[in-house]
Every structure is written in C-alpha cells, then in structure tokens.
C-alpha cells in the first residue's frame, strides 16, 4: 500500500499533484511519501509484537536525513555499514543504543567513532575485524559489544548480486569458524560477545529461506550455551521483498507469526534490519520526456533521468513500473525508456509496453524509494536530483538539487 494515487487522471503524492511538484522543483525528481513510510514501518514493527524486538532500519536503502528523522520519531533504530551512515543516524536523532554496525570492511577510525558514540554492537564479519576491534577498544579503554555474522549457507533465491548468505559470498563466517570466533572473543579483554547476526540477502519473496537459516541459528545458539557463552541479541537482518512487478512477497504479519513460533521461548531480543520493505514503495522518481525516437528496429523514449539517477535497471536488470503522470489514453507502444548518458546500458526499461508519450510529458518511475538516490552518482557530470518529502499537503525539500558549483566543490 502506498500513497501515490491517480485523481481525475493525474498522479498525486498524498494531497499534492505530481505535475505541480515537477513544475516547481524540476526533474529528475525523487518524491517520498511520509504517510507510506509511517504505514510501512508500523506494519513491519507491529508484526513482531509477540517478541521482544528492535526494528533497525537499514540506512543504505534510503539515507536522507528527513526520512531517517521520520523513522526515528516512530522509534526505529538503525542498521549502518559506514562511518558516514553512523554520522547520519546520530544527526537524525537516533539513540546510539539503537544502532547496529554491519559491513565487512570497517576501518579503525570508523570503529573508534562507533565506540565513542557507544553504539549497541558491531556485527563482526571476520577474525581480522575482531582483532582490530579489540585493539581499538583496548587503546580507548573501552569494551566493544559484538555479535558475529554467521553465514548459514542458505540460498535466498534472489539476484546473485544481493545474495549474501551462501558459502561463495564475502559476508560473515561459516558455522565452524564462528564457534572459534566466539571462543576467541570470550578470551579478549576489550570485547564482549552479546549477539549473533545473520543476513542472507535482499528482495526475498518467500519466508522459507529465513526459516531454514533460523533453524541453523537456533542450533548454533545452543552450542554457544554449551560453551558457556550467553548472548542477548539475535539479529536476523532484513531482506523481505516488495512488489516491483508481479512479485508476491509475504506480508510482515506472516513473517512475524512464523518467527514468533520458533523464537518465543528463547530469552533473546530479536533485531530486524528492514530497508527496502519500508522505503521502496514509499518513493517515486519523476522524469520528463525529452525526445521520442523511432528507428527501424525499435522505438525509444528519451527522458531526463538516467542510470546515474537510478542505476538498478542497468545494474540488476531490475523492473520498475513506469507510467504517465497524467494519463493520456493513447494506444500502447513497445519502447525502450532511456536516459541521456553515453552508455548503451543507460536505460530505465527495455521492451516495455506503455501508452505513447510526447515530448514534455512526465513519467513516474515507481518503487524508487530504496536504492534509488543512495546509489546515484555524478557520472557524465550530471547533478544529482532533488529529493522531496510530502506529508499530506506539506512539502519538505529533503535535499536540494545540486548546482554546477557542487559538481566541482573540493576539486
């Protein structure tokens, strides 16, 4: 459910017509719906009311401060993967006690910053990282709370680029190496093992891989108890999918019921790290048709948004629904929707059936609220888009469009 709906043939973001936003703020333009963000967070978080839990939004999905503040006001914690994301989370008012630090390549300075902030815990992904955290914490006279990211070798049946829980992936430690890591952590002066972590991938459309991984984690938890290691947190990551096209991902309530049945007897606080499922369908990207082009082999719709603005179609061959902002009732054509960048890989859709459009018309690219702006770049010296947060009939410029001066600042 989202709050981008047509009224009399014109797409609205909550109470405001999208053409009005494009006229005032220009295109390409990201538009986020506050009501949708609130609805999605509440639907996810409430699904686990039967468990002692913490919902830590995955900052990498959409790291805009306005979005983070809105979620923090609803009680969200944050899952971070860099020093920059730590800075953003703290700036947005997220208590450090609700911040979990994941990622395979934490640098010493990033570890120091997190220890100074006194975050809840690090999710450790290698023995080398464990040694570094202990060394940094010891030099600061602190004790670092850690969990280990366990790789359960479960196939999440998703795109290989966003599969993270199999033996061939770079993430985490396998079961046997994890046992050695916990034993080593137990022996260290400046580390306290308090949790365990598992994240098997993104855009999962069935709960079976989660449950398969969870069975392995419960067995592992019991082995830790036998070693005299008592943990307090079980971090199950994120990854629940959304509908881009015809996917039918499980509702969070179904996910919550299945997990509660397995976990309610364990004395653990369960941590979740949803990202896409909160923000994905809470955002659209608005783009203007610059030209239409007909060739002997195909028809092109050339728009002012490009792979630097939304890279998912080029990177993952991902589907995003594209529709006219003002419905025109014309016959459908099969077209490629492409951008201005000098790459054949610069496309938003290929072989897409959609109503014929003319120069100057607006298109909306749906499901763009996650991994849209956060993955954007200045390739071809293109200015990054403006981001808006719409709340009813109120518009916040969540991020101003970059200027040409911004492009060369620091050079």
Which pLDDT does position 158 carry in this prediction? 44
Which pLDDT does position 205 carry in this prediction? 67
C-alpha–C-alpha distance, residues 153 and 166, integer Å: 4
Residue 165 has pLDDT above 70, yes or no: no
Over residues 303-313, the pLDDT tens digits come to 999 999 999 99
Residue 250 has pLDDT above 80, yes or no: no
Report the interhelical angle of 34-46 vs 252-263 (nearest 10°): 30
Binning pLDDT at 50, 70 and 90, where does residue 395 land? very high
Feature table: binding site for pyridoxal 5'-phosphate: 239, 273-276, 371
pLDDT: which is higher, 212 or 296: 296
- Average pLDDT of the residues in 287-297: 96
| 11 contacts 325 by C-beta, under 8 angstroms | yes
Average pLDDT value for the chain: 91
Which pLDDT does position 162 carry in this prediction? 39
- Average pLDDT of the residues in 372-393: 98
Residue 389 has pLDDT above 60, yes or no: yes
Which pLDDT does position 148 carry in this prediction? 92
Which pLDDT does position 175 carry in this prediction? 79
Which pLDDT does position 163 carry in this prediction? 41
Largest Cα–Cα distance in the chain? 72
Pairing of strands 362-365, 283-294: antiparallel
For this structure, is 342 an active site residue? yes
Which pLDDT does position 238 carry in this prediction? 75
Residue 272 has pLDDT above 60, yes or no: yes
C-alpha–C-alpha distance, residues 259 and 242, integer Å: 19
C-alpha–C-alpha distance, residues 213 and 262, integer Å: 12
User: Which domains are seen in the chain, by residue range?
Assistant: 4-32+280-408 (2.40.37.10), 34-278 (3.20.20.10)
Over residues 234-248, the pLDDT tens digits come to 998 877 776 677 667
Over residues 335-373, the pLDDT tens digits come to 999 999 999 999 999 999 999 999 999 999 999 999 999
Collapsed DSSP state (helix, strand, coil) of residue 182: helix
Residue 211 has pLDDT above 90, yes or no: no
- Average pLDDT of the residues in 367-390: 98
Lowest-confidence pick of 63-72, 178-187, 216-225: 216-225
**Residues 6 or more apart whose Cβ sits within 8 Å of residue 37:** 67, 70, 71, 278, 279, 282
Residue found by looking up tokens 């580390």 in the block: 191
Binning pLDDT at 50, 70 and 90, where does residue 159 land? very low
């Amino acid at each position: 459910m989202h709050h981008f709906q047509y009224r009399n043939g014109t797409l609205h973001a909550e109470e405001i017509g999208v053409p009005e936003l494009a006229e005032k703020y220009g295109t390409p333009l990201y538009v986020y719906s506050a009501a949708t963000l609130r609805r999605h967070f509440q639907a996810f978080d409430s699904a686990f009311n039967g468990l002692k839990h913490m919902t830590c939004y995955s900052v990498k999905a959409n790291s805009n401060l306005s979005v983070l503040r809105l979620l923090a006001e609803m009680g969200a914690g944050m899952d971070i993967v860099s020093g920059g994301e730590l800075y953003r989370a703290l700036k947005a008012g997220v208590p450090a006690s609700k911040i979990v630090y994941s990622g395979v390549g934490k640098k010493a300075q990033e570890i120091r910053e997190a220890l100074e902030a006194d975050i809840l815990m690090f999710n450790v992904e290698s023995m080398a990282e464990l040694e570094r955290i202990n060394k940094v914490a010891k030099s600061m006279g602190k004790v670092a709370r850690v969990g280990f990211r366990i790789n359960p070798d479960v196939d999440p049946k998703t795109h290989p680029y966003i599969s993270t829980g199999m033996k061939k992936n770079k993430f985490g430690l396998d079961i046997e190496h994890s046992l050695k890591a916990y034993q080593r952590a137990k022996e260290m002066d400046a580390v306290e093992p308090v949790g365990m972590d598992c994240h098997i991938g993104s855009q999962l459309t069935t709960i079976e891989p989660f449950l398969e991984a969870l069975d392995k984690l419960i067995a592992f938890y019991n082995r830790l108890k036998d070693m005299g290691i008592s943990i307090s947190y079980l971090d199950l990551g994120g990854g629940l999918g959304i509908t881009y096209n015809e996917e039918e991902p499980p509702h969070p309530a179904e996910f919550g019921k299945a997990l509660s049945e397995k976990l309610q007897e364990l004395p653990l606080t369960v941590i979740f790290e949803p990202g896409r499922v909160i923000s994905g369908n809470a955002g659209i990207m608005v783009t203007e048709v610059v030209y239409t082009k007909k060739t002997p082999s195909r028809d092109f719709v050339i728009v002012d948004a490009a792979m630097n603005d939304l890279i998912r179609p080029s990177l993952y061959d991902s589907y995003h629904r594209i529709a006219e902002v003002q419905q025109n009732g014309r016959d459908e054509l099969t077209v490629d929707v492409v951008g201005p960048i000098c790459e054949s890989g610069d496309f938003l859709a290929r072989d897409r059936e959609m109503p014929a459009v003319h120069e100057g018309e607006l298109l909306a690219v749906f499901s763009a609220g996650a991994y849209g702006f956060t993955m954007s770049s200045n390739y071809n010296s293109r200015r990054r888009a403006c981001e808006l947060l719409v709340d009813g009939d109120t518009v916040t410029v969540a991020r101003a469009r970059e200027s040409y001066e911004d492009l060369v600042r620091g050079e």
